[in-house]
Amino acid sequence: MRADLAASYGEERLPRYTSYPTAPHFSPAIGEGAYAQWLAELPAAASASLYLHVPFCREMCWYCGCHTQIVRRDGLVAAYLRTLRSEIAQVSETIGRRIKVEHIHFGGGTPTIMAPEAFAELMAAMRQAFFVLPSAEIAVEIDPRTLTAAMVEAMRLSGVNRASLGVQSFDPVVQRAINRVQSLEQTASVVDMLQRAGINGINFDLIYGLPHQTVASCLDTVRRSLELGPDRFSVFGYAHVPAFKRHQRMINEAVLPDGLARHDQACAIANALKEAGYVQIGLDHFARPGDSMAVAFEQRTLRRNFQGYTTDKGEVLLGFGASAIGHLPQGYVQNEVQIGAYAQSIAAGHLATAKGYGLTGDDRLRADIIERIMCEFSADLGDICARHGAEAGAMLKSASRLKPLISDGVVRLDGDRIAVAKDSRFLVRSVAAAFDAHLDPAKQLHSRAV
């Protein structure tokens, strides 16, 4: 990475743009009433994706940026799952019919913390409330340190066909520094159990920019991961925001890599995965050729949502659980973040919506531009603006942050089409931010641009 680009852009705190506008702009002005109306207005032909948030773990990983809490008693998890099933029924009743479902994603926390029979009950509740298509992708995030054979069997019987394994790093020094000690043998055993159960869609999550991490340790993690043969990788930069996530204060900032080192680590991982035959998907995903995500990338149908890059083409995402975010044609909604407040709302027969955002025409236009930039490293502003009844010239004029990016060679402008230079794709979030009308540089809750 050029030193001048590192100095100009590397330390910026920018969103990952899994939505636009981003969650910090959600407001309590959008509450239960708006969500109920939006659900009732869904078109008859609409299909949906479901996201279920399970905010519990057995121990805290110090790098974690998720909404989760540590539990020792399974009774708390069981009570939460009862609430989750009630919310599923409430939302379905508000829609007024069994809407078609094409994707289901269990996130956390650690979704597999629940008992196997509880997982089966939850899947049965969803199938009763919604029409889950036989072809639906059903994905579960997994902590390989705690997954049991009984849970794998419950997942198999419930139709799970994709599993995302948290790996992060196999370097024992890094693992101790982030309070997540996980051996290669544990991970290999889980991959074997899943594949024996017919759950063959395997994702690995890796992180760079962790304490004590080096290019050499990143490459060693990639080498060990490749031995296990996952068909997808997600590779994220660690977001150090201790003011927002207090447990991150356990990490010694003095041993965190700087912007240049983070860039070197990200490039080394990307090059190693591409040399191994994986296709780079956007900013941070990699997939085997022929994988549905690689096909979507080639066909320019790739999308981006709160789980990152996705093949999901739907316009409806229903979020369930504390802090879960949903996306409907009218806008975004987010549930109560605190588990107690969430449970009280559902127990009282109310939707648990705490805040949200109603999309304007300008928001939809900018969201389309940002999504194309994030997914394809380019955007045809003329085409996108025409579809929204806007002028590309006016949009370019409003994107004042784009001018230095063009001057620095990060972005090429050809008529109304913009493209991120191949050697500057690591700055794609900076390019997307040029079209973010809500961006507040004073807010430091996002991860560094590099």
308: left (phi over 0), alpha (psi -120 to 50) or beta: left
Q: How confident is the model at residue 423 (pLDDT cuts 50, 70, 90)?
A: confident
Residue 449 has pLDDT above 60, yes or no: no
Range(s) within the chain of domains with CATH label 3.80.30.20: 20-325
Q: How many residues does the chain have?
A: 450
Which of the 8 DSSP states describes residue 278? P
Cα dihedral 217, 222, 227, 233, rounded to 10, equals 150
Residue 224 has pLDDT above 90, yes or no: yes
Tell me the backbone φ, ψ of residue 152, rounded to 5 degrees: -60, -40
Average pLDDT over residues 298-312: 92
Bridge-based pairing of strands 69-70 and 56-57 is parallel
Lowest mean pLDDT among 9-18, 281-290, 392-401: 9-18
In this prediction, residue 8 carries a pLDDT of 78
Which of helix, strand or coil describes residue 227? coil
Range(s) within the chain of domains with CATH label 1.10.10.920: 1-19+360-450
Tens digit of each residue's pLDDT (9 = 90 or more) over 133-157: 999 999 999 999 999 999 999 999 9
Average pLDDT over residues 429-443: 87
CB under 8 Å to 289, separation ≥6 — which residues? 277, 279
- The partner residues of 355 in beta bridges, in order of sequence, read 334
Please state the CATH superfamily assignment of the domain spanning residues 20-325 in this structure.
Answer: tm_1862 like domain (3.80.30.20)
Residue 243 has pLDDT above 90, yes or no: no
CB under 8 Å to 124, separation ≥6 — which residues? none
Tens digit of each residue's pLDDT (9 = 90 or more) over 183-222: 999 999 999 999 999 999 999 999 999 999 999 999 999 9
Average pLDDT over residues 321-344: 97
Task: Give me the chain's average pLDDT, please.
Answer: 94
Average pLDDT over residues 46-58: 96
CB under 8 Å to 107, separation ≥6 — which residues? 51, 52, 53, 54, 66, 141, 307
End-to-end CA distance of the chain: 10
In this prediction, residue 443 carries a pLDDT of 60
Q: Which residue has the tokens 């063009």?
A: 406
Cα dihedral 222, 213, 263, 202, rounded to 10, equals 30
Positive or negative, the Cα torsion across 265, 266, 270, 276?
positive
In this prediction, residue 294 carries a pLDDT of 96
One-character DSSP codes across 23-54: GGG-BTTS-HHHHHHHHHT--TT-EEEEEEEE
Is 35 within 8 Å of 303 (Cβ atoms)?
no
Tens digit of each residue's pLDDT (9 = 90 or more) over 353-376: 999 999 999 999 999 999 999 999
Tens digit of each residue's pLDDT (9 = 90 or more) over 90-100: 999 999 999 99
Q: How confident is the model at residue 447 (pLDDT cuts 50, 70, 90)?
A: low
Predicted TM-score (pTM) of the model is: 0.94
The number of beta carbons lying within 10 Å of the beta carbon of residue 135 is 7
Q: How confident is the model at residue 6 (pLDDT cuts 50, 70, 90)?
A: confident
- The tokens for 323 are 């802090």
Is 282 within 8 Å of 300 (Cβ atoms)?
no
- The tokens for 407 are 């001057």
In this prediction, residue 441 carries a pLDDT of 66
Positive or negative, the Cα torsion across 144, 148, 151, 155?
positive
Which top CATH class is 1-19+360-450?
Answer: mainly alpha
Residue 25 has pLDDT above 60, yes or no: yes
Is 95 within 8 Å of 40 (Cβ atoms)?
yes
pLDDT above 70 covers what percent of the chain?
A: 97
pLDDT above 90 covers what percent of the chain?
A: 87
Kind plus residue range of the DSSP H or E element containing 88? helix 74-95
Cα dihedral 43, 46, 49, 53, rounded to 10, equals 20
Rounded-to-integer distance, Cα 294 and Cα 185, Å: 29
Residue 83 has pLDDT above 70, yes or no: yes
Residue 450 has pLDDT above 80, yes or no: no
Residue 420 has pLDDT above 60, yes or no: yes
Is 382 within 8 Å of 415 (Cβ atoms)?
yes
In this prediction, residue 326 carries a pLDDT of 97
Side chain identity at 181, as an amino acid letter? V
In this prediction, residue 54 carries a pLDDT of 98
- In 165-278, which residue ranges form alpha helices assigned H by DSSP? 172-177, 184-196, 215-226, 259-275
In this prediction, residue 313 carries a pLDDT of 84
In this prediction, residue 213 carries a pLDDT of 98
Which of the 8 DSSP states describes residue 93? H
Tens digit of each residue's pLDDT (9 = 90 or more) over 401-418: 999 999 999 999 999 999
Average pLDDT over residues 68-97: 96
In this prediction, residue 426 carries a pLDDT of 87
